[in-house]
Structure 1
């Protein structure tokens, strides 16, 4: 690993030594005096902006993520979400992996590849960018892609005070208070947010407090510094999944054992980052971030109580610029990222059955473990521009290491074990051709991977399995983006195909225990389509309709589980089709009305394809009115209805569920029935 990393730095040094100060492309590379956290890919990326987020209730971002073609979020609760991209991550049971996520440029994907994205306040976000597939080499080359979350900046030259209060069904209460100031050299943004709800189901209360501070200062034309801290404290009860009988008779029920244990999770999460940017010349700059995060997680479950602590730290450094000695326009990014965390976890007996119906009670220690996890990424990409043609090449090098210590089983000879994965080189090639300024064709070929987490590498005896390795795949995609009618109409069509080898399968061996293994191959094929139009009905009235669609054909190519051959079956947990659409009607007098529609096609619930979940539709409405009371003071009133048709549906499916002791398997997380919300936002600029 060290030799490869030194070779990378040496090569980069030779490259940047040829960069001169008289670069005429500075506007292409440096853009402005802002910190840039976007992907800057030459292919169109899926970007979700503030106006998209504001079409929904300001409680979570899963609904707006579902609008993105190729993306689907299974949402069991505010604290139970599974993000899938082109089918990647569909076999993960309780969380999100297969992607690499960043929050204002700070890595937030753990050392074992897991990402909690729904804990961030949607009212603080200015943009969400989703890069599908492993083509963004500077943001890792995970098979699912990358997720970039960027927060809002205060209005320039103004001091801003804003408060947004939202109330709704099932005891929903959310209050967000923001204060900020920004001038030419300095900005500060402070946000305090509280969210609580009683939940639709038994044992589903949720209570979250967040404090966010973002400060930046520009010392001169060449040096800037930025500091961010985000503190979260939330307690969420867990109703878990339910069986078919409970789902049909009364979907408000919690799983019986989780209700009896009054299961919940309590989390305290701190994320900090310090970013320094230096401009060496008009054609070269460096942005370096050092970060630290801490997670304190306590979760009483029916089968045991989990108590865990995670300390994470690292750095990310990126050089950006162009090479002026070349006879064509160009840009490059190159750098490295280290993410390291120490994960300490223990389990205890849960004596809830002996606690007089008072819920969970901690008993004797069952296990005591510590994991050390390190992830190195070195990366570079280079883009060349030739009139109408642009070519982008990229490379990513990853080196991952797990170290495991078992402090409970002192007599176990394997209680101290390491897994040092071989380094992986992942290249990418992208080509874009602009027929005109409004019509472009693009294509990409890229290689990606997904590592197993440490628990998947362990056998039931706690011994690391040296045979299990990462999933790998090659992604192919081709698409076109077009604008019509003076750019009022925008369309995007993308075809993709990805073969995944060494498929990681989580095999359930007990109620709370899974082991991993590489079990075969999958084929991911699909078509993604989006269309958006701005229709100016009059000088004061505009209509903005949109429609997104995903058509999936994803299958097991070679997959045998014990004596069962599932080759040729549909990939478990992937909807066949996804449609999203709606419109925003906006009047200059401050009145607006929006509607959103989601269709989720049928999906296989088990590998045998013997059980499918039927398609369903969800329609949401929202309206609002903004009134300017004084010159610098405005009020906005909002109201909305979610699931207008009162559709009964499961918003998440636990695939391959197994019933223990003769019980029915618990596949279903019920979605919310019709529910309402309303709010008032006060904003003052001075």
Structure 2
């Protein structure tokens, strides 16, 4: 009997071994694909922790029970493994309550936010989903130190710590990247708001000239991460959102993520009749983003996004029209039926690979094309331009136990053909009429950034970051329109600009990190700023440069996380646009400016039980920006406040994530009064917006669905959402939207699901 008993035990043991499955996997950040070390992976019978490369192995006895994955700073998830014989790739999304623990790659250096000496804010998918899916302006305006003027869906200007407030109708002095591919053209202009929310996983905003690896823009750097599908899923998605003023946004998307390929194909169409006269908006955007894995050590990233936009321009209003008839358009723009029409393509390909245990390298290529046509009333006239730009970026990264090094270069060149025609519109012409050619200019601008940065950890509690960027900028003008002595053709160079940076982070307490850094930055003039109204070149205009000193702290205690920073930035040769009596602009250097401020944010998990969480948050900024030494056209503005920027800004709200898919939020935004003119004789009043949104999500088999409803400006506040500063015509104000709503439904069908 003993022999048969031993045989039986052996057979039972063999069956038990056969029943167990050893699951292999990797846990990564859903936004940038960075492997997450220290993630806890738990099954019903065992648990493990991911290693330094994010990998784990776990014995499973029952495939019917899901595994749990947790990591500090990320949303915990539960996944059901369908095919355990393959290495599963599990992506975690950033948690809104512990953002200081999130891994960022703002300078190609993968580091936890709290260990960085840069001031970084993260806008997560949850932050974006507090608002309608066709705009990001509210999310940006809830960020300390950031303010987005938004005249219409296509007329915007983003400022960071006051930088960019003097540009006219676009965002400059800020470097913007989408998956390491530049969104900023050779003149420094960025159209971040062009991207539909469907293409965005999250935004990482580096404030001030703190990123030596990205050209040291004075305003900062905005890193946009593409949306990646969950591993093991093939899905088809469709949604529609409808809102006030005839606004409709359609989305169709296809997603696939297998062992070799991660792919998102998205098409959106957004149309609106607009709140104001001459305010129709039509934008179609099609894009593909993805990653192809060659093996465990190398992969390709690729993006290609095509935008086709035609949008009418109501322009700014005088105070009387702004108060009595805010839905009207400026009379001259209405008469000319002014609009902008452009087609734009942004494409990029990057290759990332690992050599041994210490080296990582990346190479990227990118191209941008744009064809734009903008009929505007005199004296702006009709503008027609074509842009073709291309560039490359190479970064090498070395990491050892106590230090790491990053070095590389970014080269970019664009070719801009710019023509201006007379606009012969009249009250009886029913819109713009193209006349004779006024001027024709071709600009070829190129820059080279060479950068390096070293991170040293002399102790476990101290991190030292030191880096430098060297910039070489050159532009060449060709003027085929003029053949006499006024011809502008020629090459122009700026002197090389060296921008160093030094930062130190210290773990003062187990849950508190403090940091201090000193950094240098610059911004070069764009094409419009280098030309006088008669078309001649202003060879005296210089790049603006500045030094930034800041200190701050980040911490978390129990259910509270917080971030606090103070900064002082001294700027020389601030670039501003001076408006002439002919309603045209010239670029000038505004002497010396000082930008100092305080920024703070906090998040508190007020209540949590089962699958329900109530979160309260707040953010605020004190922004003291002034002209120290600014004499312009015989007038002395020294000591005055910088125009177009509020002194105070705050926001706050409640987020509810309920059981069974219910979610809701309510939030406010307060913007203080702003000077409109350099002499500070005219201000726009302060305002506060109250917004709310509620939604419900659930699944029926393989079909996921969600419905949502939102209400903006609940109190129907009358306010100016954008300013045109120093206007000689007195038309300063872009009226903000009155009380408005939106509602939508989203459907996603999962054809295949390896990991749910």
Both proteins in one fold, TM over 0.5: yes
Residue 69 of structure 2: aligned partner: none
Residues 606-627 of structure 1 deviation map (CA, whole Å, 9 limit, x = unaligned): 1111111111000111000112
Residue 375 of structure 1: aligned partner: 447
Q: Which of 608, 612, 620 is matched with 2:679 structurally? A: 608
Q: Which of 155, 164, 179 is matched with 2:254 structurally? A: 179
Contact 2:106 2:211 in 1 (8 A): no
Distance (Å, rounded) in 2 between the aligned partners of 1:332 and 1:370:
40
* Residues 417-436 of structure 1 aligned to structure 2 (within 5 Å): 417-436=490-509
Residue 10 of structure 1: aligned partner: none
Q: Specify every segment of 5 or more residues in structure 1 that has no aligned partner in the other structure, as ranges.
A: 1-23, 660-664
Total equivalences in the alignment: 649
Residue 5 of structure 1: aligned partner: none
Residue 713 of structure 2: aligned partner: 643
Residue 535 of structure 1: aligned partner: 606
Q: Which of 667, 670, 673 is matched with 2:735 structurally? A: 670
TM-score by length of 2: 0.84
* Residues 468-547 of structure 1 aligned to structure 2 (within 5 Å): 468-485=541-558, 488-509=559-580, 511=582, 513-547=584-618
- Match status 1:411 vs 2:479: no
- Match status 1:366 vs 2:438: yes
TM-aligned CA deviation for residue 160 of structure 1: 2.0
Residues 210-246 of structure 1 deviation map (CA, whole Å, 9 limit, x = unaligned): 1111232111233312221100001000000000110
When residues 512 and 270 of structure 1 are mapped into structure 2, their CA distance, relative to the original with a 3 A threshold, is farther
Q: Which of 314, 326, 344 is matched with 1:239 structurally? A: 314
- Match status 1:263 vs 2:338: yes
TM-aligned CA deviation for residue 463 of structure 1: 2.9
Distance (Å, rounded) in 2 between the aligned partners of 1:331 and 1:31:
19
- Match status 1:335 vs 2:405: no
TM-score by length of 1: 0.92
Residue 537 of structure 2: aligned partner: 464
Contact 2:333 2:376 in 1 (8 A): yes
Distance (Å, rounded) in 1 between the aligned partners of 2:491 and 2:405:
36
- Match status 1:552 vs 2:620: no
Instruction: Find the residue that maps to 1:636 and give its secondary structure.
Output: strand
Range moving further from structure 2, 514-523 or 34-43: 34-43
Residue 390 of structure 2: aligned partner: 313
Residue 362 of structure 2: aligned partner: 287
Q: Specify every segment of 5 or more residues in structure 2 that has no aligned partner in the other structure, as ranges.
A: 1-36, 39-49, 56-88, 92-102
Residues 393-419 of structure 1 deviation map (CA, whole Å, 9 limit, x = unaligned): 010011111111111112235421221
Instruction: Find the residue that maps to 2:213 and give its secondary structure.
Output: coil
Residue 72 of structure 1: aligned partner: 147
Residue 393 of structure 1: aligned partner: 466
Residue 33 of structure 2: aligned partner: none
TM-aligned CA deviation for residue 91 of structure 1: 1.1
Instruction: Find the residue that maps to 2:214 and give its secondary structure.
Output: coil
TM-aligned CA deviation for residue 36 of structure 1: 7.9
TM-aligned CA deviation for residue 85 of structure 1: 0.6
Distance (Å, rounded) in 2 between the aligned partners of 1:406 and 1:94:
25
Distance (Å, rounded) in 2 between the aligned partners of 1:466 and 1:415:
11
TM-aligned CA deviation for residue 563 of structure 1: 2.3
TM-aligned CA deviation for residue 37 of structure 1: 5.3
- Match status 1:587 vs 2:587: no
Contact 2:583 2:728 in 1 (8 A): no
Residue 96 of structure 2: aligned partner: none
Q: Which of 26, 38, 56 is matched with 2:106 structurally? A: 38
- Match status 1:574 vs 2:642: no
Instruction: Find the residue that maps to 1:219 and give its secondary structure.
Output: strand
* Residues 55-454 of structure 1 aligned to structure 2 (within 5 Å): 55-303=130-378, 304-322=381-399, 324=400, 329-353=402-426, 356-385=428-457, 386-454=459-527
Distance (Å, rounded) in 2 between the aligned partners of 1:640 and 1:52:
14
Distance (Å, rounded) in 1 between the aligned partners of 2:405 and 2:557:
31
Distance (Å, rounded) in 1 between the aligned partners of 2:369 and 2:336:
27
Q: Which of 633, 636, 639 is matched with 1:565 structurally? A: 636
TM-aligned CA deviation for residue 124 of structure 1: 2.0
| Structure 1: 4+ residue segments shifted above 4 A | 27-37
Residue 684 of structure 1: aligned partner: 749
Residue 13 of structure 1: aligned partner: none
Instruction: Find the residue that maps to 2:321 and give its secondary structure.
Output: helix
Instruction: Find the residue that maps to 2:305 and give its secondary structure.
Output: strand
Residues 236-285 of structure 1 deviation map (CA, whole Å, 9 limit, x = unaligned): 00000000110011100100000000000001000111111121221111
Residues 614-662 of structure 1 deviation map (CA, whole Å, 9 limit, x = unaligned): 11000111000112222x2121110011100000100011111112xxx
Distance (Å, rounded) in 1 between the aligned partners of 2:293 and 2:277:
51
Residues 57-116 of structure 1 deviation map (CA, whole Å, 9 limit, x = unaligned): 111111101111000001111111111111111111211111111011101111111111
TM-aligned CA deviation for residue 512 of structure 1: 5.1
